[in-house]
């Protein structure tokens, strides 16, 4: 079955520390991969996406993600987090054919310690 797993429900990181949020997927075809961020009570905003080519993808707000086909992973990283990064982060997997078939992870809530 197709699925997306974000193993960490919550992650707490000190401001200025590095961050890695995990995303593992199970998908039959070549996946399109996304990371979205959601501030409390708001809609979601795209951070970055991967279709093909270079497996290290740069996004907005200093985030990057690396696609590892052998591990079925698409982990999100940031070298130094800011208090404003506190939010919930969602990984999603989709197909080339259509956006309505996106499969969403359950999200990881990022908490920043001062």
Partner 1 sequence: DGGITQSPKYLFRKEGQNVTLSCEQNLNHDAMYWYRQDPGQGLRLIYYSQIVNDFQKGDIAEGYSVSREKKESFPLTVTSAQKNPTAFYLCASTPDREGGNTIYFGEGSWLTVV
Judged by the rule CB under 8 A, the positions of this chain that interact with partner 1 are 4, 9, 32, 36, 41-46, 49, 51, 90, 92, 94-107
Q: Which of 59, 81 has the CB closer to partner 1?
A: 59
> CA–CA separation, 63 vs 16, rounded Å?
14
- Report yes or no: 106 and 93 within 8 Å, Cβ to Cβ: no
| CB of 90 vs partner 1, minimal distance in Å | 6
Q: Which of 85, 88 has the CB closer to partner 1?
A: 88
| CB of 98 vs partner 1, minimal distance in Å | 5
Q: Which of 43, 114 has the CB closer to partner 1?
A: 43
| CB of 96 vs partner 1, minimal distance in Å | 4
| CB of 50 vs partner 1, minimal distance in Å | 9
């Amino acid at each position: 079955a197709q699925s997306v797993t974000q193993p960490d429900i919550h992650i707490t990181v000190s401001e200025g520390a590095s961050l890695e949020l995990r995303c593992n997927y199970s998908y039959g075809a070549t996946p399109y991969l996304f990371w979205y961020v959601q501030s409390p009570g708001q809609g979601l905003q795209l951070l970055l996406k991967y279709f093909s080519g270079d497996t290290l993808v740069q996004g907005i707000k200093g985030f990057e993600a690396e696609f590892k086909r052998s591990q079925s992973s698409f982990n999100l990283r940031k070298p130094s987090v800011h208090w404003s990064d506190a939010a919930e982060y969602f990984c999603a997997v989709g197909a080339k054919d259509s956006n309505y078939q996106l499969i969403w992870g359950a999200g990881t809530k990022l908490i920043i310690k001062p």
